[in-house]
């Protein structure tokens, strides 16, 4: 049966069966679910859907889903199961107009089969299969693939239209599938094509356009410190936060440290940058002393204290203790005490006990330290 003939047959049969198959929502248990699917007829239909997908026959696969959607001879649970399985297979094939029309129809379906959640977690029913949601997933995947292919062509041509399109879509704060598709193309492109895109990306970032995620893909692919720096300094918060982790893992320690130190002064990502410096500090003395310096900055001190404490290094505890003994201001003392308090090692407790017995600092601070040390 050809795709066109199959579709005509499917739609006629669907109309004939529609009234008979209008099942009301129902709740099933796990046992009923297994029994309904352990059926030769269900297995045969599932195998047919798999064969159509394997042969790249999108129109015929979609036609079968049109029939299954209104097949009154199938148990409702089996029907939803087969539609869900078929939709996932359809997502792997290039969309045709007929297949897209089927998926758009299925995207309007409401869940009809529910399973009861454990009473300890609310005793409520939740959809066992939500074929409408699966259909919407397929549409997003097709849109993502189309955007990826368009962007790949733009990259191969060496023009900047992919970046411009990304910026336009991002400015509308929607179409995430298309944005992800363009990012996919940049992840898969040869490095030489990405190098040609750097000037356009830099200009877009400088103009405040929302191309941070795309710039981050390129920065990571090229291990490009300059581009990482632009994302860390000027991109939206989400992109900048992602750049903190990516820069620490992609760049050499010294280069990453310079970028992260600057990023630590950006209010919305400063804490994350300091914690990332803490990750470098385990093997880099410069990163360690960068954190000690940050303890002197009231805005950054709490995060720097947490980063130092996570090292769990007796040498760091000793250095904190020496600085605490020499500190004169209450603000500095509290930052150093916080770093020691967050460190659960015996070395840190010993430094706190030494401070509490030293008579230095305010009586209130010493009492707080004694309370923390109390068993």
Domain ranges of the chain: 3-129, 223-302, 312-375
The mean per-residue pLDDT over the stretch 184-207 comes to 96
* pLDDT at residue 114 in the model: 86
Lowest mean pLDDT among 28-42, 165-179, 228-242, 312-326: 28-42
Q: Is 87 helix (H, G, I), strand (E, B) or coil?
A: helix
Per DSSP, the chain holds a count of helices (H) and strands (E) of 21, 3
Q: Give the pLDDT band of residue 269 (cuts 50, 70, 90).
A: very high
Both tokens of 124, joined, read 């409520």
The helix/strand/coil state of 20 is: coil
Contact indicator for 210, 180 with CB cutoff of 8 Å:
no
pLDDT digits (tens, 9 = 90+) for 302-349: 999 999 999 999 999 999 999 999 998 999 999 999 999 999 999 999
Q: Tell me what the mean pLDDT of segment 85-114 comes to.
A: 95
> Could you identify the residue written with the tokens 């010493």?
366
Whether 267 shows a pLDDT value over 50: the answer reads: yes
pLDDT at 275: 97
Q: How confident is the model at residue 6 (pLDDT cuts 50, 70, 90)?
A: very low
Q: Can you tell me the distance from the alpha carbon of 274 to that of 264, in angstroms, rounded to the nearest whole number?
A: 6
Q: Which two tokens stand for residue 20?
A: 């008979």
Answer yes or no: are the C-beta atoms of 197 and 160 closer than 8 Å. yes
Helix (H) or strand (E) holding 113: strand 113-116
pTM of the shown model = 0.81
* Edge-to-edge strand ranges of the sheet holding 125-129: 26-28, 113-116, 125-129
CB-based contact 307:316 (threshold 8 Å): no
CB contact at 8 A, 63 and 9? yes
| Pairwise CA distance, residues 268 & 41, whole Å | 57
pLDDT at 313: 93
SS3 198: helix
Is 70 exceeded by the pLDDT of residue 96?
yes
- Residue 62: pLDDT above 60? yes
CA distance from start to end of the chain: 80
pLDDT at residue 1, as a whole number: 42
What local confidence, expressed as pLDDT, does residue 120 receive? Answer: 64
Give the Cα separation of 355 and 297 in Å (integer). Answer: 22
């Amino acid at each position: 049966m050809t795709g066109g003939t199959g579709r005509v047959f499917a739609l006629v049969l669907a109309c004939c069966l529609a009234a008979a198959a209008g099942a009301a929502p129902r709740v099933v248990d796990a046992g009923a679910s297994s029994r309904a699917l352990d059926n030769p007829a269900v297995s045969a239909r599932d195998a047919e859907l798999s064969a159509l997908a394997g042969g790249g026959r999108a129109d015929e696969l979609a036609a079968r889903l049109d029939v299954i959607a209104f097949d009154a001879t199938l148990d409702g649970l089996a029907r939803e199961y087969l539609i869900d399985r078929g939709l996932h297979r359809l997502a792997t094939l290039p969309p045709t107009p007929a297949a897209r029309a089927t998926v758009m129809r299925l995207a309007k379906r409401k869940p009809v089969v529910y399973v009861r959640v454990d009473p300890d977690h609310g005793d409520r029913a939740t959809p066992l299969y939500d074929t409408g949601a699966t259909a919407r997933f397929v549409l997003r995947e097709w849109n993502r693939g189309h955007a990826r292919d368009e962007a790949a062509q733009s990259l191969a041509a060496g023009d900047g239209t992919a970046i411009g399109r990304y910026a336009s879509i991002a400015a509308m704060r929607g179409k995430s599938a298309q944005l992800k598709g363009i990012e996919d193309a940049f992840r898969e492109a040869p490095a030489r094509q990405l190098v040609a895109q750097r000037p356009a990306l830099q200009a877009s970032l400088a103009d405040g356009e929302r191309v941070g995620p795309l710039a981050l893909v390129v920065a990571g692919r090229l291990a490009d410190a300059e581009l990482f720096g632009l994302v860390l300094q000027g991109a939206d918060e989400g992109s900048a936060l992602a750049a903190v982790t990516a820069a620490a893992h992609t760049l050499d320690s010294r280069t990453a440290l310079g970028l992260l130190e600057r990023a630590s002064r950006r209010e919305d990502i400063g804490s994350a940058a300091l914690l990332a410096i803490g990750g470098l500090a385990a093997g880099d003395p410069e990163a360690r002393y960068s954190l000690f310096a940050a303890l002197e900055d009231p805005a950054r001190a709490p995060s720097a204290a947490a980063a130092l404490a996570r090292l769990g290094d007796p040498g760091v505890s000793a250095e904190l203790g020496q600085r605490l003994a020499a500190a004169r201001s209450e603000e500095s003392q509290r930052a150093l005490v916080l770093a020691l308090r967050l460190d659960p090692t015996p070395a840190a407790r010993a430094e706190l006990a030494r401070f509490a017995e030293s008579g230095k600092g305010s009586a209130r601070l010493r009492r707080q330290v004694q309370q923390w040390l109390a068993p």
